[in-house]
Structures are given as structure tokens and as C-alpha cells.
Amino acid sequence: MSRVALVTGGQRGIGAAISEALQAAGRKVVASYAGNDAAAKAFTDRTGIPCYKFDVADYDACAEALKKIEAEVGQVEVLVNNAGITRDGTMKRMNREMWDAVIDTNLGSCYNMCKLVWDGMSAKKFGRIVNIGSINGQAGQYGQVNYAAAKSGIHGFTKALALEGARGQITVNAIAPGYVDTEMVRAVPPDVLEKIIARIPRGRLGTAYDIARGVVFLTADDADFITGSTLSINGGQHMY
């Protein structure tokens, strides 16, 4: 029987490519989203992948949604923590709300979702978890102390949880994407984007599929010996 894979923020952007790639790899995929009903409907119509609306930053909402998903689709054996937001601003401009929103959505969500699937994966002695970090969590980025802290936190979270899961055959890995051509990056001013691309050795932005194929690799049943690692998918930018 196909394993159930849950992709948070899985109906658009990088998440949509991850959902579709996992489906193509034979997983029974479920996607979650925050509020973009139109994108969710269009995605389900196109792919047949069901979408569940809940806030990944809210533990109780995650618990309720997971209960529903497990009753309607089955136990989650593959989890991709992909949902994320940015609220950029220099320290001078960054208020507490911008800080909390990014920490809770990008990092708090990893706790919420992993906590809720952990007992089931442990009982089954199988689990694949991938957390989507960022090159900006590895290198830092001007105007992004909240985002860099959250993504850097994801890389530490991944290694610590991987240690806890190893004997139970639950692997926990991270992917640190570079700049990928999605709405999040299209919001960057064109002159800034031009400078960013000039610093990518490969000479282009990534595609969502570039990231998705990394997720398929790390979540394969036979990827049992890869855990606690961070896969950098960034066109070589981490070498700069």
C-alpha cells in the first residue's frame, strides 16, 4: 500500500512541486495550506491531491487537522515541513510581530507537525521527515534576522531530532534551497534579484522541481542511511 505523505504549504510554489513529485514517486499525497482557497482548489482539480486548510503555527489547529487527515487518508509516514513566510526588515524596522510570525510559522511549525506524527512513526518503526530550510539560514541575510534565525533553527532541529529517530528508523533531514523562482522570490525588487542571480555560479534561479527531486531522494524507502543531513540545492551559491 502507498505510504501517506503530508506536505505543508503543498499546493503552490515549491510545495506544489514537492507534492507532485512525491505523487509521481508513488506516495499518497496530502497537501496543507493557510488560506489561499483558489490555489488549493485549482491544485486539487489538476492533481487530485486533497488539500487541508490549517495554520501550521497553531498547535491545536495542527492536531485537529492531523486527526482528520489520518481518519480520511491514513497514517502519515512521510512529512515535509515546507510551509514558510517572510516578513523582511532591518532590525530598526522589525517589530515583535514580524519576528514572532516568522519564527512561529517557519520553525514552530516543525515542532508542531513532528510532535504530532512522531508517536505514529515510532510505533511503525518507519518515518521520513524533511524540513525545508534556506541558504539564508546557513549564511544569514541582510534584513532577515527573523527568517535567518528560523531557518538556521531548522537546521539544528533537524540534527537533534535525527538523533532521536535513528534507532526507530525515522530519518530527519533538511534541504537548504537557494533562490528559487516562486512568488516569494518574485517579490524581491528586480535590481536586487539581478545581483542575486549574478552570485549564483550556475547562473540561474532554481526551479521548484530542483528542490522537489531532493525531497523524493531523501524520503525514499531505501534512503535509510541518510539522516541529520542538510542538502544544499542552490546552484553552487553556498561556495561564495
Ligand X SMILES: NC(=O)c1ccc[n+]([C@@H]2O[C@H](COP(=O)([O-])OP(=O)(O)OC[C@H]3O[C@@H](n4cnc5c(N)ncnc54)[C@H](OP(=O)(O)O)[C@@H]3O)[C@@H](O)[C@H]2O)c1
User: Known catalytic residues?
Assistant: 147
Q: Does 22 participate in binding ligand X (rule CB under 6 A)?
A: no
User: Which three three-digit cell numbers place residue 125?
Assistant: 518503526
In angstroms, give the least distance from the CB of 77 to ligand X. 21
Q: Does 33 participate in binding ligand X (rule CB under 6 A)?
A: yes
Q: Does 214 participate in binding ligand X (rule CB under 6 A)?
A: no
Cα-Cα-Cα-Cα dihedral sign, residues 80, 178, 180, 104? positive
- The one among 4, 30, 76, 85 contacting ligand X by CB under 6 A: 85
Q: Does 6 participate in binding ligand X (rule CB under 6 A)?
A: no
In angstroms, give the least distance from the CB of 5 to ligand X. 15
Q: What is the DSSP letter of 180?
A: B
Query: From CA 49, how far away is CA 121, in angstroms rounded?
Result: 22
Binding part of the chain for ligand X, among 110-118, 164-172, 176-184, 224-232 by CB under 6 A, reads: 176-184
Please work out, in degrees rounded to the nearest 5, the angle formed at the alpha carbon of residue 21 by the alpha carbons of 172 and 231: 35
Longest dimension (CA), the chain: 53
In angstroms, give the least distance from the CB of 198 to ligand X. 16
Q: Are strands 28-33 and 4-7 parallel, antiparallel or unpaired?
A: parallel
Query: From CA 117, how far away is CA 216, in angstroms rounded?
Result: 19
Q: Which is nearer to ligand X, 62 or 170 (CB)?
A: 62
**Interface ranges with ligand X (CB under 6 A):** 8-9, 11-15, 32-36, 39, 55-57, 82-85, 105, 132, 134, 177, 179-180, 182-185
